[in-house]
Amino acid sequence: MATASLAKPPHPFWTLTEGRAIFELGAFGLLRKRMLDLPKGDGHPVLVLPGFMASDRSTKPMRRLFKDLGYNAYGWGLGRNVRFNEVREREMSDLVERIYAENGRKLSIVGWSLGGVFARELAKLHPDIVRLVVSLGSPISNDRRHAAPSRLFEAINGKQTEPEMEGRYGDLAAAPPVPTTSILTKSDGVVAWRGSIQHPERGAMTENIIVPASHVGLGVNPLVMVAVADRLAQAEGQWRPFDRSGWRELVFKGVPAA
C-alpha cells in the first residue's frame, strides 16, 4: 500500500480511554426500546462484518436491532477476524453471493473497523448486488499506520496480505461505486480519525459522519444506530446525504473542508 508521511495512530490518551465503551453499551441497553422508533427497513438483507480480532458476538446487539427494524440481518459466520488470506477473501465473496441468492435482493453491508474495509472492497467486487455500505471507524486510507493494531495485523498477515500480493486491495481509499457512508469519531483510540475520512472527489455518493463515540463502542452507541438506521432505510436508488438539520446538527458533524 502507498504511504503518507503524516499518517500516525491515535494519541495514546484516546487509546487509554477506550474503556468508556462500557457506558455506550449501557446506553444501548437503556435506550433499546426507544430505538425501535428508528426508521423501519424494507426487509432487504444486511450483512454485518466484525472488526479485527472480533467475531459475530461483537455485532450481535447491532444485528438484533436491525432485525427488529425490519431487515434480514446476517453475521458473517467466519469466526474471529484475524487472518486475511485468499481463502478468507473467497469466503466473504461467496457469502455476499449466497445472501443475494437467498433473498433475491441487493444487500447492504455494515462493517466495523477492519470489517468496514472488507465491506468496501466486497462492494467493489460485487457492485451489482450490493446496495449500500456503511463503515464504522474503519482504516480506509492507504496507510495502515493510522491504525494502532497495524503491527499486530502485519505480524499475523505479513507486510502484504495474499490478496495484496495478487494485485487486489491496492487502493482502499477509493470508494466503491455504491452509496458509501463512513461513520467516524475524533476520539477514536484504535484508528486515527483522519484514516477513516472519505474524500468527496472519489465518488458522488460518499459521505462522512462524525459522531461522539469510542472505537470499541461504535457498534453499540445509540447515536451511531440513529445514523446507520437512517442510511439503511433509504429507498434503493434514492440515496441522499445524511440530514444534519435540527437536533442532529448538535451531535453529527461533517468533515471540515480542507
Q: What is the pLDDT of residue 7?
A: 87
Helix/strand/coil (H/E/C) assignment for every residue in 81-135: CCCCCHHHHHHHHHHHHHHHHHHCCCEEEEEECHHHHHHHHHHHHCCCCEEEEEE
**Residue 3 reports pLDDT greater than 50:** no
Q: At what angle do helices 21-30 and 222-232 cross, to 10 degrees?
A: 60
Q: What is the mean pLDDT of the chain?
A: 94
Separation between Cα atoms, residue 69 and residue 205, nearest integer Å: 24
Mean per-residue pLDDT for 4-16? 85
- As a whole-number percent, the residues of the chain with pLDDT over 70 amount to 96
The answer to whether the beta carbons of residues 176 and 124 sit under 8 Å apart is yes
Q: What average pLDDT does this structure show over 209-215?
A: 98
Predicted confidence band of residue 199 (pLDDT cuts 50, 70, 90): confident
End-to-end CA distance of the chain: 24
Count Cβ atoms within 10 A of the Cβ of residue 238 and give its class: 0-12 exposed, 13-18 middle, 19 or more buried.
exposed
**pLDDT at residue 102 is higher than 80:** yes
Q: What is the pLDDT of residue 202?
A: 56
- The CATH code of the domain at 12-234 is 3.40.50.1820
The pLDDT assigned to 257 comes to 60
The Cα–Cα gap between 196 and 178 comes to 17
At 74, is the secondary structure helix, strand, or coil? strand
Structural contact between residues 163 and 89, judged by C-beta atoms closer than 8 angstroms: yes
69-85, pLDDT tens digit by residue? 999 999 999 999 999 99
